[in-house]
Amino acid sequence: MSVSIAPFNKREDNLAELTSLIQQLSTSATISSVQRAVESAHCYVLIARDESTRKMVGSATMAQMECPTGIRAHIEDVIVDVNWRGKGIAKRLLEEAIRFAKYQNAKTIDLTSRPEREAANRLYQKVGFVKRDTNVYRFQDQ
């Protein structure tokens, strides 16, 4: 098994295939929302591809924003196809996202994960993320 990690290539890669993969994580992903992400100058979308079949088997997105206090990076939507989990692909995706964030001189690199995603949380800690003592707020219109 050989898997390559590379940025999504708008001219060569299949948007529908990427959308289908991301929908394993969240059914709210649509072709248009995925297209906006891959076309955004603020998103770095990585894909993992099986070298023998060329099938997409994983993906991760790193969003970055320029703030007055420095560049901030946030990793989102880390997904590995259910048939490919446990092979180190998510770790490789994270390492490449971190490498790129450092290359961009990001002052911080954050991600969030639900507590019930135990394997993912162990992985995040293994690659160097530490749990922060902070409050995370999400606006909800009433």
**Domains of the chain listed by start with CATH number:** 3-126 (3.40.630.30)
Strands 43-50 and 56-67, sheet pairing? antiparallel
**The pLDDT of residue 84:** 96
**Residue 75 CB partners (closer than 8 Å, separation 6+):** 60, 61, 62, 94, 97, 98, 109, 110, 111
Closest CA to 57 of 30, 31, 97, 86: 86
Closest CA to 97 of 57, 43, 54: 43
Q: What are phi and psi of 90, to 5 degrees?
A: -60, -40
Asked if pLDDT for residue 1 goes beyond 80, the answer is no
The model's pTM: 0.92
pLDDT in tens, 16-73: 999 999 999 999 999 999 999 999 999 999 999 999 999 999 999 999 999 999 999 9
pLDDT in tens, 14-23: 999 999 999 9
Residue percentage of the chain with pLDDT more than 90: 91
**The pLDDT of residue 10:** 86
